[in-house]
Amino acid sequence: MAEQNVVLNNLTFELHIQNSEIELRITQLAKLLAKGHSNANPLFISVLNGSFIFAADLLRQLDFACEIEFVKVSSYAGTQSTREVKQVLGLSKSIENRTVIILEDIIDSGLTMDFLLCDLARFKPKQIEICTLLLKPEALKVKLPVNYIGFEVANDFLVGYGLDYDGHGRNLPHIYKAV
């Protein structure tokens, strides 16, 4: 049984999406990805830190040739998205002429993803698609072509399954929302 409430740094969170639901959705996403890309040897780019669990679970559901790289773009502190977005770190492989699929835990304002798209486009990939576990449509500040979405969620602050609140809660198997 999942805990109904968790407390992190004195903030209470309530159960929002059970791990079993996440697993099911990931299986569906894997099927959609196979349809679109099973012959393309896509390069997945997982955005650290938040997407490490999503990326690990998704990749193990893919039964076609693919590769993965991890990058870091820090832009977030506390429960409010900051405006400034820093640089992309850690890309060690050429993406020229590759099918690139960015894996993100959550798209909030969309500024991080917008920056990533522009930055990666400089290296001339064949195409770039976006696959995010969570999307907050009401929080979006820019137009983004999001190709694969696990769950659309309200404008709440979420933790668990890789998502953190000031560093805590990434290890929770389920997703919780701030009360």
Interface with ligand IMP by CB under 6 A: which residues? 47, 50, 75-76, 81, 104-113, 157-159, 163
**Residues of the shown chain interacting with Mg ion in the complex, contacts defined by CB under 5 A:** 50, 105
3-state SS class at 73: coil
Mark whether 108 is an active-site residue.
Answer: yes
**Rounded to the nearest 5°, which phi and psi values hold at 73?**
-135, 105
Query: Among ligand IMP, Mg ion, none, what does residue 102 contact (CB within 5–8 Å per kind)?
Result: none
Considering the complex, what minimum distance in angstroms separates the CB of residue 113 from Mg ion?
9
Q: What's the sign of the alpha-carbon dihedral 155, 161, 167, 168?
A: positive
Residue (50 or 150) nearer to ligand IMP, CB: 50
Using DSSP, how many helices (H) and how many strands (E) does the chain show?
3, 11
* Catalytic entry in 108, 119, 164, 166: 108
For residue 115, give the amino acid letter: F
Considering the complex, what minimum distance in angstroms separates the CB of residue 101 from ligand IMP?
16
Considering the complex, what minimum distance in angstroms separates the CB of residue 41 from ligand IMP?
26
Rounded distance between C-alpha atoms, residue 76 and residue 42, angstroms: 28
As annotated, the active-site residues are: 108
